[in-house]
Amino acid sequence: QKEVEQDPGPLSVPEGAIVSLNCTYSNSAFQYFMWYRQYSRKGPELLMYTYSSGNKEDGRFTAQVDKSSKYISLFIRDSQPSDSATYLCAMKAAGNKLTFGGGTRVLVKP
Partner 1 sequence: SAVISQKPSRDICQRGTSLTIQCQVDSQVTMMFWYRQQPGQSLTLIATANQGSEATYESGFVIDKFPISRPNLTFSTLTVSNMSPEDSSIYLCSVAKSYNEQFFGPGTRLTVL
* Binding-site ranges for partner 1 (CB under 8 A): 6, 32, 34, 36, 41-46, 49, 51, 88, 90, 96-98, 100-103
Rounded to 5°, the CA angle 36-38-39 comes to: 155
In whole angstroms, the minimum distance from the beta carbon of 17 to partner 1 comes to 25
Q: Which residues contact 49 (CB under 8 A, 6 or more apart)?
A: 32, 33, 34, 35, 63
If the CB atoms of residues 34 and 72 are measured against partner 1, the closer one turns out to be: 34
Helix-, strand-, coil-residue percentages of the chain, each rounded to 5: 5, 55, 45
User: What is the nearest approach in angstroms of partner 1 to the Cβ of residue 96?
Assistant: 6
Closer by beta carbon to partner 1, 28 or else 52: 52
For residues 17 and 22, which CB has a smaller minimum distance to partner 1 in the complex? 22
